[in-house]
Amino acid sequence: MRRIQVLLCSGTACQSSGSEGVRRALLEALGLHNLLDEVQIVETGCMGPCELGPVLLVYPEGTFYVRVKPEDASEIVTEHFLKGRPVRRLLWTEGAPRPTEIPFFARQVKLVLGNCGTIDPEKVDEYIAAGGYEALGKAVTSLAPHEVIAAIRESGLRGRGGAGFPTGTKWELVRAAAGTPKYVVCNADEGDPGAFMDRAILEGDPHAIVEGMAIAAYAVGATHGYIYVRAEYPLAVQRIQTALGQARKLGLLGANIFETDFSFDVEVRIGAGAFVCGEETALIASIEGRRGEPRPRPPYPATSGLWGKPTLINNVETYANVRHILLRGPEAFAAVGTEKSKGTKVFALAGKIRNTGLVEVPMGITLRELVFDIGGGVPAGREFKAVQIGGPSGGCLPASLLDVPVDYDSLSQHGAIMGSGGVIILDDAACMVNMARFFLEFTADESCGKCVPCRVGTQMMLGILDRIVQGQGTEEDLTRLVEIGEMMKKASLCGLGQTAPNPVLSTLRYFADEYRAHIRDRSCPAGVCPNLVRYVVVADACRGCDACRRACPTGAAQGKAGKPPYRIVDDLCILCGACFDVCPFDAVKKEPR
Amino acid sequence: MTKEAIAAQHPRSPEALLALLHDLQLANAGHHLTEADLVLAAAHVGLPLSAVHDAATFYSMFSLRPRGRHIIRLCDSPNCHLAGAWSALDELRRLLGVDIGETTEDGAFTLELTSCLGACGVAPVMMVDDEVVGNLTPERVRETLVRYREGR
């Protein structure tokens, strides 16, 4: 009889902070105390708070430990498992051992992530015990395909990959399309900086994707499916392969599923490092063995996709929602969220925020609740400045918009997008012009180069931004940025080019003062842009150690050893930052020019 | 395993191209694709050599030039940059004595940049072969390199 279960997060983030070492140490300590029969260790997918990893959850009572090290294992075993006293120093917050008592968890509604961190993703039995494959069984044995589609439509589910197209409508289009065979594709080519929910779902609950795809295939009349995963996600690839093998063995994939006429199987296709392959037509080209370039739409994949056949292509998180709609009913699903954005959305919180990681919240929650209540706000000493939402082609929203509800339509109204749900929090140390330049550099790099508006537009905008951050911008540059950005939105071939100007346009809208400061005053208010800062020595902190003078390549740092303070001569300084890097007393400071 | 045997594991269809190129690349000590590999792949999947060359040069994970035994991919997405990827890059450059895209003299490491690795919760992040190393600090960079130099 197992009296204790230890859920150990073994998602990529926790693995990288050493969860495997913790597992081995725990096993060793359990063996030492003869507890191997009483305590079970279950390796799960992502539990959410990545920065606190490795994390583990002890059941039955639900004690949540963070930042566990291998050397903590023996104390956990002797104190907690043997004597029943939680190890207080490893709790997230003193006096609140259970996730339900921690605001980070308490404010979330976990539907899609419900199994992530609570089941062993490599054991199909655990998935089935959690209600897995029940929805598929229900669909193929008791519902007609059009009834499945009707349920999806009534639920109000919209595509979680970013654009928010109504999922039921898309399924209906594929069902109605002429041509056989039809294909079902899962877009698992998540490459948005700041978003990692798709990987977490693939790693933590792979069967949910298999089940969602199988239900979709039944509904649209497909017999074959593909999961296109980034090669950068080896753990996700391995877990999904395991899941597919298990599903085949149990007859949940293959011929005559649940002893019906419905047959369906799925194969994995691995990408090779190209952000643009997240775009559906580029992804299809890549599966077909070509370079991953988008093509003009229409025709949409629904009518002419893989090998020119009708193809349903949805994102990972979208498929993960499907089984819940069939199990709980479309009304229950639609009861969560706002009028036009139903259900929950998974967000990846990153940047200058206390609690980084994955969170799932009802649509319509405000940015303030997301950033401050769940995310814990900006770490002490700094102030919230902006939230960049929707990935590299999302928008930056300022503090004044913190009460905007997070749903597809409100976000786009304010110049941001849902995107795949990446949320990056910026504090007052961030320069918004530099930040916009950065995101644009990313999309310029990742532009496939096929269409002129995107290929040339991103480069032109980048050139202008380069000039501005170097203090060589002009007023006309601002008008040019808007012109080029608007042109790209209208004329680019695919979503990459159409949304690439968003970070620039949104920062121009909300942080125009910062652009003006760079242009008119040749100054960077945040003290970030290298050409627009100066280095100064804080007299009180300088001890006259001579390190800066020795490091300075141009003789700008001047002074005499043992006779503080030193000084830095602006005219000689080339802003290399050598003095800043070497000063052992933090006496060299950067300040806006 | 011979290259022919590797190819034989893949269906003779264009949709096998990317997976085949990955496997061929992995089979070379230099983690790269040779001209002969491309010719073999083209014949196997039934695509013109030009189309295979096209694909091999489009995707950033393929290389036509030999690389080191271990490939280090440092994430240079905005998130990791915000979290201090640049100081990790400086340390990598310093310790390896190479710049981005170059291979160390002993052939042990190739240093590359990559876009988002999807581990932003532990940014800044790099990937060494298949291992994700997060919360990078100069010390962690040093430890990781030592670990790989000593063969894990």
pLDDT per residue as tens digits for the range A238-257: 999 999 999 999 999 999 99
Question: Are B45 and A12 in contact (CB < 8 Å)?
Answer: no
Contact A395, A418 (CB under 8 A): no
Q: Any residues with CB less than 8 A from the CB of B143 and at least 6 apart, and which?
A: none
Binding-site annotation: residue ranges of B: 75, 80, 116, 120
Contact A282, A448 (CB under 8 A): yes
Question: Are A392 and B77 in contact (CB < 8 Å)?
Answer: yes
Q: Which pLDDT value is given to residue B82?
A: 79
Please give the full DSSP string across A486-520, using - where no structure is assigned.
HHHHHH-SSHHHHHTTHHHHHHHHH-HHHHHHHHH
Q: Does one domain contain both B134 and B79? A: yes
Quick one: CATH architecture of A124-335?
Answer: 3-Layer(aba) Sandwich (3.40)
Of the pLDDT bands very low, low, confident and very high (cuts 50, 70, 90), residue A38 is very high
Q: How many CA atoms lie within 13 A of A489 on its CB side?
A: 15
Query: Which residue of chain A has the CA closest to B41?
Result: A289
Overall CATH class of domain A344-427? alpha beta
Residue A500: pLDDT above 90?
Answer: yes
Q: Does one domain contain both B13 and B39? A: yes
Note whether residue B125 is domain-resident: yes
Q: Which domain holds residue B145?
A: 70-150
Q: Does one domain contain both B127 and B87? A: yes
Report how many Cβ contacts below 8 Å link chain A to chain B: 152
Residue A3: pLDDT above 80?
Answer: yes
Q: What share of chain B is helix, strand, coil (3-state, %, to 5)?
A: 50, 10, 40
Strand pairing report for A183-188 and A311-315: parallel
Q: How far apart are CA A4 and CA A120, in angstroms?
A: 15
Q: How far apart are CA A65 and CA A102, in angstroms?
A: 12
Q: Which pLDDT value is given to residue A39?
A: 96
Q: How far apart are CA A229 and CA B63, in angstroms?
A: 20
Q: Does one domain contain both B41 and B91? A: no
Q: Output the CA–CA distances (angstroms, integers) from residue B17 to A38, B7, B46, in the order listed.
A: 49, 10, 9
Q: Give me the residue spans of the domains in chain A.
A: 4-101, 124-335, 344-427, 432-521, 533-592
Note whether residue B129 is domain-resident: yes
Using beta carbons and an 8 Å cutoff, which residues of B are at the interface with A? 13-19, 21-22, 45, 47, 51, 54-55, 58-62, 73, 77-83, 114-123, 125, 127, 130-135
Report ipTM for this prediction: 0.94
DSSP state letter for A96: B
Q: Does one domain contain both B84 and B17? A: no
Contact A488, A439 (CB under 8 A): no
Which has the closest alpha carbon to A393: A515, A313, A278?
Answer: A278
pLDDT per residue as tens digits for the range A218-242: 999 999 999 999 999 999 999 999 9
Contact A187, A316 (CB under 8 A): yes
Question: Are A356 and B120 in contact (CB < 8 Å)?
Answer: yes
CB < 8 Å to B85, chain A? none
CB < 8 Å to A53, chain B? 121-122
Binding-site annotation: residue ranges of B for [2Fe-2S] cluster: 75, 80, 116, 120
pLDDT per residue as tens digits for the range A139-154: 999 999 999 999 999 9
Give helix A206-220 / helix A234-249 axis angle, nearest 10°: 60
Q: Which pLDDT value is given to residue A378?
A: 95
CB < 8 Å to B16, chain A? 289
pLDDT per residue as tens digits for the range A433-471: 999 998 999 899 989 999 999 999 999 999 999 999 999
A130, A136, A137, A140: CA torsion to nearest 10: 170
Question: Are B120 and A194 in contact (CB < 8 Å)?
Answer: yes
Q: Which pLDDT value is given to residue A377?
A: 95
Q: Which pLDDT value is given to residue B78?
A: 81
Which has the closest alpha carbon to A442: A192, A272, A273, A271?
Answer: A192
Question: Are A269 and B121 in contact (CB < 8 Å)?
Answer: no
Query: Residue B152 is encoded by which pair of tokens?
Result: 């894990």
> What is the CATH code of the structural domain delimited by A533-592?
3.30.70.20
CATH number of the domain that residue B108 is part of: 3.40.30.10
Q: How far apart are CA A74 and CA A458, in angstroms?
A: 55
Among 1.20.1440.230, 1.10.357.10, 3.30.420.10, 3.90.1280.20, name the CATH number for the domain at A432-521.
1.20.1440.230
pLDDT per residue as tens digits for the range A486-499: 999 999 999 999 99
A475, A479, A480, A483: CA torsion to nearest 10: 180
Q: Does one domain contain both B144 and B78? A: yes
The residue assigned the tokens 């960049």 is A388
Contact A442, A392 (CB under 8 A): yes
Which has the closest alpha carbon to A210: A240, A174, A168?
Answer: A240
A135, A407, A419, A525: CA torsion to nearest 10: -150
Note whether residue B63 is domain-resident: no
Question: Are A272 and B134 in contact (CB < 8 Å)?
Answer: no
DSSP state letter for A373: I
pLDDT per residue as tens digits for the range A513-554: 999 999 999 999 988 888 888 899 999 999 999 999 998 888
Q: Does one domain contain both B51 and B74? A: no
Within A139-223, strands assigned E span: 183-188
pLDDT per residue as tens digits for the range A78-108: 999 999 999 999 998 877 778 888 889 999 9
Question: Are A442 and B77 in contact (CB < 8 Å)?
Answer: yes
Q: Does one domain contain both B15 and B54? A: yes
Q: How far apart are CA A192 and CA A162, in angstroms?
A: 11
Contact A346, A360 (CB under 8 A): yes
**CA-based nearest distance A435→chain B, Å:** 8
Q: Which pLDDT value is given to residue B152?
A: 54
Q: Does one domain contain both B74 and B136? A: yes
Q: How far apart are CA B148 and CA A89, in angstroms?
A: 33
Note whether residue B64 is domain-resident: no
Overall fold of domain A4-101: Glutaredoxin (3.40.30)
Query: Residue A436 is encoded by which pair of tokens?
Result: 């916009």
Strand pairing report for B131-133 and B126-128: antiparallel
Q: Does one domain contain both B89 and B142? A: yes
Q: Does one domain contain both B98 and B44? A: no
Burial A21-50 (b: 16+ CB within 10 A, else e): bbbebbbebbeeeebeeebebbbbbbbbbb
Give A491's strand partners: none
**CA-based nearest distance B106→chain A, Å:** 26
Residue A1: pLDDT above 80?
Answer: no
Query: Which residue of chain B has the CA closest to A198?
Result: B118
> Is it true that the peptide bond before A86 is cis, omega within 30 degrees of 0?
no
CB-based burial of residue A584 (10 Å sphere; 0-12 exposed, 13-18 middle, 19+ buried)? exposed
Query: Residue A183 is encoded by which pair of tokens?
Result: 């294909």
Q: Does one domain contain both B140 and B81? A: yes
Domain count for chain B, please give it. 2
